[in-house]
Structure 1
Amino acid sequence: MTRAYAIGDIHGHLDKLEAAHALIAEDRARCGDDAAPVVHIGDLVDRGPNSKGVIQYVIDGQARGENWVVLKGNHDRMMEMFLREHPMVDTQLLYDYNWLHARIGGIETLASYGVEVREGLRTFQFHPSARAAVPESHRAYLAGLPSFYRLDDLYFAHAGIRPGVALEDQTEDDLCWIRKEFHQSDTNHGPLIVHGHTPVDEVTHYGNRLNIDTGAGHGKDMAAVVIEGRDVWQLGPDGRRDVKHEKPIFNF
């Protein structure tokens, strides 16, 4: 039986990420499994106080051989695009938004690198110093993040998938950004789609998809879950709590 762990959207909260990994370590000890991967569903950065620390934490973990998968979220993509030699704005954003819009969180991310975005500055006036403050290793890491991960009957993507499109034909735009079309679909996608991107009050299993973004970027808890087959448990101080299917699971 396939077992995997997954962690919801992080958004610069290193303390919550460390706590999630501690819960996973406790569950590993209970079930005696040191091999199951831990999938980070994306959005390492923005809004929280320590995006720099989060990126370094996952880089260090993978470097020492931890079986961690880290996926690209839309916020990670926005940061990487802005910090290119010639800054870019993600075309999936509203026309009057950019990474430094007050609702996005880029200002807080740059603050974790010691960069103050002063009011009235134009991009060309501070972009060179912002780019210099973020280590090239961090910029390259974000650029190289995968947008999905497949493990047997599980398919992990930050935002979800476009229904009706073969998994091998999904685009990064959709894997990082999709919402409405995916959320409204009761299609059998084949594998269980594990995603974040859109906060929910609690980890929710819809039968064809599993949403694990519980709003860490908005001051709420960060979810850590264990998945065995298509069954899901949320991890907490008292161990596992069963996540029931909100709708009847499909017959296969």
Structure 2
Amino acid sequence: MRTYAIGDIHGHLDKLEAAHSLIAADRAENGDREAPVVHIGDLVDRGPDSCGVIDYLLRGIAGRAPWVVLKGNHDRMFANFLVDPDSHDPGLREGLHWTDPRLGGGTTLASYGVAGTGERLLFDLHEEAVAAVPEAHVAFLGGLNLHFQRGAALFVHAGIRPGIPVERQAEDDLLWIRRDFLDDPRDHGMLVVHGHTPVDAPCHYGNRLNIDTGAGYGKPLTAVVIEGHQVWHLTEGGRVPILPPA
């Protein structure tokens, strides 16, 4: 059973297209054109073309590409802003807003032609954003899945609350959890494939696989392929094994 996965995109359409090219090359080499591609969330923010990323994913899904798209915390913050400009995600510390440059909401709005983040009132930005963001994009963001399970792997954006069944996981944990998940060495019953916390290269920890390699900070976007309990990083030179600790 084969599954492909792509890390946190953060508005980088060019990197997303390159990742899909690597997957297409692997399909050509190894067959199985129906294996799903799981996008691990954080489609938007920081990069220059969040609008283009969502358009690209919508076109692929409309063309019946076997793609799964999960919700990231940045995707939820964007969707919530479109409902209420004063919304504050529970995962953010008090006083920090989605439009803060550190979070990159302004670049997402700019990709829809909404300029002046940091200089204009939130109400004005919101009013223009509601008019500029297509209804199809709003519906897409609102309908993103929180997790996807296939074979021996569970795909989520940030991770899971250890010891809690998948069906009882809180959305805030799936989108925001860090230390309580990252520092837990226990066997989760499946390999948890996640992003959210950038690493220098995709890392296999035995119980989890982190594939966020910092595309939102100017670093590469990672694509991997999982077959049973084996994992490979997809590169221009082909598959490179990602091995758990000895």
Structure 1-normalised TM-score?
A: 0.95
Cα deviation for residue 170 of structure 1 reads 0.6
Cα deviation for residue 89 of structure 1 reads 1.8
- 8 Å CA contact 2:85–2:126 kept in 1: the answer is no
- 8 Å CA contact 2:99–2:117 kept in 1: the answer is no
Instruction: Please name the residue that 1:231 is paired with.
Output: 230
2:78 paired with 1:79 = yes
- 8 Å CA contact 2:156–2:193 kept in 1: the answer is yes
Cα deviation for residue 164 of structure 1 reads 1.3
Q: Deviations over 1:75-129 (max 9, x none)?
A: 0000000101565221111101111011000000000011112444222232111
- What amino acid is the match of 2:48? P
CA distance in 1, matches of 2:3, 2:25: 14
Partner of 1:83: helix, strand, or coil? helix
- What amino acid is the match of 2:91? Q
Instruction: Please name the residue that 1:163 is paired with.
Output: 162
Structure 1 spans left out of the alignment, 5+ residues: none
- 8 Å CA contact 2:100–2:118 kept in 1: the answer is no
Deviates more, 1:137-146 or 1:120-129: 120-129
Paired-residue identity, %:
57
Instruction: Please name the residue that 2:220 is paired with.
Output: 221
Q: Deviations over 1:12-40 (max 9, x none)?
A: 00000000000000000111111110000
Q: Give the aligned CA root-mean-square deviation in angstroms.
A: 1.1
Deviates more, 1:111-120 or 1:83-92: 83-92
Instruction: Please name the residue that 2:59 is paired with.
Output: 60
How many residue pairs get matched? 246
Instruction: Please name the residue that 2:91 is paired with.
Output: 92
CA distance in 2, matches of 1:66, 1:102: 34
Instruction: Please name the residue that 1:20 is paired with.
Output: 19
Structure 2-normalised TM-score?
A: 0.97
Cα deviation for residue 212 of structure 1 reads 0.3
- 8 Å CA contact 2:99–2:118 kept in 1: the answer is no
CA distance in 2, matches of 1:219, 1:126: 26
Extract structure 1 runs of 4+ deviating beyond 4 A: none
CA distance in 2, matches of 1:125, 1:240: 48
Q: Deviations over 1:21-74 (max 9, x none)?
A: 000000001111111100000000000000000001001100110000000000
CA distance in 1, matches of 2:28, 2:118: 50
Structure 2 spans left out of the alignment, 5+ residues: none
Partner of 2:83: helix, strand, or coil? coil
CA distance in 2, matches of 1:31, 1:200: 28
